Amino acid sequence: LGNDKAALAARINAFKARPSLGDYQKALELADTAKATVQAELLQLLRRHQGWDSDSAKVDIFLQEGLLDDAIAAVKDLGYYQADLVKQVMATALNQRPDWVIENATRRAEEIMDAARSNAYHHAVEWLQQARAAYLASGQQAAWQAYRTRLMQLHARKYKLMGMLKQRDMA
């Protein structure tokens, strides 16, 4: 109805209730000259928001704004069901924070392999692919080779896992 102030207030309230990239973008668009202030307020709200329903919005918004550390913090404790969000952050962090990608991906892979959860070995291999990409992107090919050799020795009797690693050219 042409009342941008009311529309902005409504978008901010909607964002407070359930953060989304769409509401964030629309609020910034409606803010016009107060864009920086509204942006800072929405980012603070997003950082404080607790709820499983905001994980995707956090990742999308933080990555869009180039706030990699915030995106990393948002996915730090996410589990199996949100693996895609973690991988989305890893893809962005690959060149900027390869050590974080390596630590996070190897930890997730090792949890699966150490527990001998053979039904989830494909997930472990996917995490190891992320780790390998980070090792290589950061010029640590020798470190990757050493890590891979240690894994191969440690898990040599897990034939299903070894087969999957060989299939993906990781063995």
pLDDT tens digits for range 88-123? 999 999 999 999 999 999 999 999 999 999 999 999
Q: What's the pLDDT score for residue 171?
A: 61
Helix axis angle, 121-137 relative to 83-93, nearest 10°? 10
pLDDT band at 159 (very low <50, low <70, confident <90, very high): very high
- Taken in order 48, 12, 61, 79, is the CA torsion positive or negative? positive
pTM to 2 decimals? Answer: 0.88
Which comes out higher in pLDDT, residue 33 or 21? 21
Overall average pLDDT of the 72-81 stretch: 90
Residue 154 makes CB contacts below 8 A (sequence gap 6+) with: none
Interatomic CA distance for residues 123 and 110, integer angstroms: 11
Q: Which helix (H) or strand (E) holds 28?
A: helix 21-31
Q: How long a stretch of residues is the chain?
A: 171
